[in-house]
Amino acid sequence: MEVKDKIKEFIKEVYKIIDNNQNLSENNKKELVKKEVERKVLK
């Protein structure tokens, strides 16, 4: 997958995190986004 597509996929995932976890605190949602970056950019 090209980087551009990977970034698009990632941003979509971030939207999902925001939509699906509205009851979570901001910090937790930020942590989820960070984890998503970790999943997208592996060793």
Partner 1 sequence: MILKRLVLNNFRQFKGRTVIDFSPIDGKHVTFVYASNGVGKTTLLSSIVWCLYGGDKLEYIDQKSLFLNKSLFQELSDFGEMTIEATLIFEDREKQYTVKRTIVIQNVDNKQKITDQNLEVQINNETQYNPQDRINSVLSPAMKEYFFFEGEGVQKFADESNYKKVQDGIKNIMKIDTREKALSYIESARSKFAKELKEINAEQGNADILPEEEKELLIEKQKDIKHNIEKLNKDIETFDDIIKKIEINLLSIEEIKILSKERESLLQDIEKAKEKRKNLQAQQKDKIAKEAYLALSNDVLTISKNIIDEKRETGILPVGIRKKFVEELINSHMCICGTTFDSGDKHHNKLLNIIESVSDESAIEDILNELSYFIEAKKDITSKYSLEYKTLSDELTNTNEKLNSLEQKFSTLEDNIEDEFPQNEENLISRKKQTINDRDNSIKTKERFSIELEEIEKKLKEIETLINKYETQNEAINLVRDRIAFCSEAVEVLSKENAKIIEQIRCDLSKKINDKFQTILHAQKNAKIDDDFRLIITEGDNENISGKSGGEGQLISLLFISTLIDMARNREKERNTSDIDPGAGIYPIVIDAPYGKFDTVYKQYISEVVRDMAPQVIILLTQEQWNDGKDLYPIFKDDIAHQYVLIAHRPKLSHSFSKTNRINYNGQSIDMEILDDDEYTEIKNMKDI
Helix, strand, coil shares of the chain as percentages rounded to 5? 75, 0, 25
Instruction: Tell me the two tokens of residue 35.
Output: 């984890």
- The DSSP call for residue 21 is T
**Does residue 21 bind partner 1 (CB under 8 A)?**
yes
Separation between Cα atoms, residue 1 and residue 20, nearest integer Å: 26
**Does residue 28 bind partner 1 (CB under 8 A)?**
no
**Does residue 18 bind partner 1 (CB under 8 A)?**
yes
Quick one: which of 1, 2, 12, 25 contacts partner 1 (CB under 8 A)?
Answer: 12
Residue numbers at the binding site for partner 1 (CB under 8 A) = 3-4, 6-8, 10-12, 14-15, 17-23, 29-30, 33-34, 37-38, 40-43
